[in-house]
Structure 1
Amino acid sequence: MSVPSAAEQRLKLRTELRKARASAGLTQRQVAKVMEWSPSKLLRIESGEVSISVNDLRPLLTTYGISDRHQIEYLLDLARGSRKLPFAEYRDVFRSEFVQFLALEASASIGRYFNSLQLPRLLQTEEYARAIAVAYGSSTTLNGTEERMLEAQLARQDLLLSENCPELFFILDEVILHRQVGGRGVMRAQLQRLAELSKHPKVTLMVIPYTAGAHAGIQGPFTLFEFAGEEKPETLYIETAQGDTIESDKPEKTRRYLELFWQLEDLGIRDNIDVLTNRLIERMDEGVDDLAALLEAPPAA
């Protein structure tokens, strides 16, 4: 039996602590006062943003009236196992919410990604990712912080090589495949990478063609995670224009976005992605610029 990841154990612990406080009939403010904590500390613990030490957990369980030895040991074990989240070493460059996102991504059983402007991070080559980072910045070179963010992004892709790789579903808008991020050479290599990934046993790639017209996904990118354990709810992340993520595990919201993902799947082409990318590479090698070719073409008679 595999050992739960740090992210899974933190999720379990936060769920158990919320239940324990509710059973004790205490508010967050009341608990914070008894523990002599700031209210924000308990809020961050219950949201899973930060871990809780064993030394802090013992008196907290006493406050909640938990005295069963086996239950106490179970919760203490969860606290010990949740201390080291994946990508915790990047807390100096990412907000805690995004570090939590990375941890959940590593422990999910299913990941669903939709993007209409650029390739999802898990699919990007280093050169493509660097070109995106430069476009976001104010200089043609990345500073130290930006280099570390790029390093973390590439480290995420180790998930694709893992024996425990989750089922990953990616829906892309066709425009992503035509935008030559980083120039012709960079995009050519990126398309080759997509062709390779289309053969990955845990990866499903889908492309929504231009002919699909307007669709609900145009409102912006989002990611959905599902987990094997019942105590871990589906989690939704919506990416804002500023690159921040908004998290929600409310069933009514995650269900709505799951249904949206299924609708987008019905619009997408999922077969022969390698054929599609190879044809785009051929057009690129021939120097064909679709928009320029259209403008230069003689008008229809």
Structure 2
Amino acid sequence: MSATSAALQRLRLRTELRRARLAAELTQREVAKSMEWSPSKLIRIEAGEVGVSVNDLRPLLAAYGITDRRKIDELLDLARGSRKMPFAEYRDLYGKEMLQFLSLESAAWITRHYSSLVIPGVLQTEEYMRATMRAFAAQTNEDLVDRAVEARLARQELLDDTGDRQLFFILDESVLRRSTGGPGVMRAQLERLAELSAQPHITLQILPFSAGAHPAIQGPFTLFEFRVDEMEDALFIEDSRGIILAGTSPEETRRYLERFWELEDLAVKEDVEKLLRRLAGRVEAGSDDLLRLLDDEAV
């Protein structure tokens, strides 16, 4: 079973369990007490942060009054299939929010991402990754950097997807103008983006400075949509603390989806590959560097 299938099965299982508890009109605290669990264990199961063993699931289903044999077998199969989650071997690197993000990213049918700070991790070259990681860390442990790069490169299997997965990225112009890692690294990164923009399942758009103030000026966010009907869309917002799960309600997620569509109306969509290659060619020239304006005035 693939890690992607495991992620989807855990997502389906957590949804089914929460729905069953609500149908039984039980609170999390009541269930935890009857199961002799800590309340945090049930909360983590319903959040999809941890799996649930078959031995734990059987009495839990009984507590919810589920007696239909076909339904029980279906949920037990989901529990068995959801044990091995994507990127579980990187728990020492990532917090629970980021691990959940990676799990959903691997399982999503449609991904929509707006970036205002850096190139999205799944699109980064290895050299760009290392430059950003070193910039973020006050004290850099090269072994941890190597493992973080390994994990991020593993995410990029999504880019070679041969199915019907669709990836949509809107990049603020500042993301492309900021020479991260030096001219050589940035040029290679822009050329990589140009290559990716030509793939049919990847859509890259650029939000130009001329758009002015816009609906997403507060910062980056990601939306995941799933082909499984039972799975609600997921929303993640990134702030100075890192990625956080923010989609606490369908209404909030829908507002961000509408925000993404508004950004698409403002973004450059045509000839993006050509535009990226031209930007790559101008990186070393630095003709648009802010500090050059002062040099020019001095002359």
The TM-score with structure 1 as length reference comes to 0.93
- Where do residues 197-212 of structure 1 align in structure 2 (5 Å cutoff)? 197-212=196-211
Q: Deviations over 1:124-157 (max 9, x none)?
A: 1010011000000124x54333332222111101
Q: Deviations over 1:15-48 (max 9, x none)?
A: 1111221222221111111111001101111111
CA displacement at 1:298 relative to structure 2: 5.1
Alpha-carbon distance in 2 for matches of 1:130, 1:213: 31
- Where do residues 1-301 of structure 1 align in structure 2 (5 Å cutoff)? 5-139=5-139, 141-164=140-163, 166-297=165-296
Give ranges in structure 2 of 5+ residues lacking alignment. none
CA displacement at 1:165 relative to structure 2: 6.1
The answer to whether the 8 A contact 1:133-1:142 is kept is no
Once the two structures are overlaid, the 10-residue window that deviates more, 42-51 or 279-288, is: 279-288
The answer to whether the 8 A contact 1:31-1:63 is kept is yes
The TM-score with structure 2 as length reference comes to 0.94
The answer to whether the 8 A contact 1:124-1:190 is kept is yes
SS of the residue corresponding to residue 246 of structure 2 reads: strand
SS of the residue corresponding to residue 172 of structure 1 reads: strand
SS of the residue corresponding to residue 135 of structure 1 reads: helix
Alpha-carbon distance in 1 for matches of 2:173, 2:198: 19
SS of the residue corresponding to residue 67 of structure 1 reads: coil
Alpha-carbon distance in 1 for matches of 2:142, 2:35: 42
Alpha-carbon distance in 2 for matches of 1:26, 1:286: 65
Alpha-carbon distance in 1 for matches of 2:24, 2:276: 58
CA RMSD across the alignment: 1.9
The answer to whether the 8 A contact 1:233-1:249 is kept is no
Alpha-carbon distance in 2 for matches of 1:180, 1:237: 26
Give the aligned residue type for 1:295. Answer: L
SS of the residue corresponding to residue 283 of structure 2 reads: helix
Alpha-carbon distance in 1 for matches of 2:99, 2:78: 19
SS of the residue corresponding to residue 75 of structure 1 reads: helix
Distance 1:289 1:142, change over 3 A: farther
SS of the residue corresponding to residue 32 of structure 1 reads: helix
Distance 1:98 1:110, change over 3 A: same
Identity of aligned residues (%): 58
SS of the residue corresponding to residue 238 of structure 1 reads: strand
Give the aligned residue type for 2:167. Answer: L
CA displacement at 1:296 relative to structure 2: 3.4
Alpha-carbon distance in 2 for matches of 1:53, 1:147: 33
CA displacement at 1:262 relative to structure 2: 0.6
Once the two structures are overlaid, the 10-residue window that deviates more, 278-287 or 40-49, is: 278-287
Alpha-carbon distance in 2 for matches of 1:20, 1:262: 34
Alpha-carbon distance in 1 for matches of 2:277, 2:33: 63
The answer to whether the 8 A contact 1:240-1:246 is kept is no
CA displacement at 1:289 relative to structure 2: 4.7
Alpha-carbon distance in 2 for matches of 1:45, 1:286: 53
Alpha-carbon distance in 2 for matches of 1:209, 1:297: 25
The answer to whether the 8 A contact 1:134-1:142 is kept is no
Give the aligned residue type for 1:191. Answer: L
The answer to whether the 8 A contact 1:234-1:249 is kept is no
Give the aligned residue type for 2:93. Answer: V
Give the aligned residue type for 2:111. Answer: G
Distance 1:146 1:3, change over 3 A: closer
SS of the residue corresponding to residue 245 of structure 2 reads: strand
Alpha-carbon distance in 2 for matches of 1:151, 1:164: 24
Alpha-carbon distance in 2 for matches of 1:152, 1:3: 14
Give the aligned residue type for 1:72. Answer: I
Give ranges in structure 1 of 5+ residues lacking alignment. none
SS of the residue corresponding to residue 160 of structure 1 reads: helix
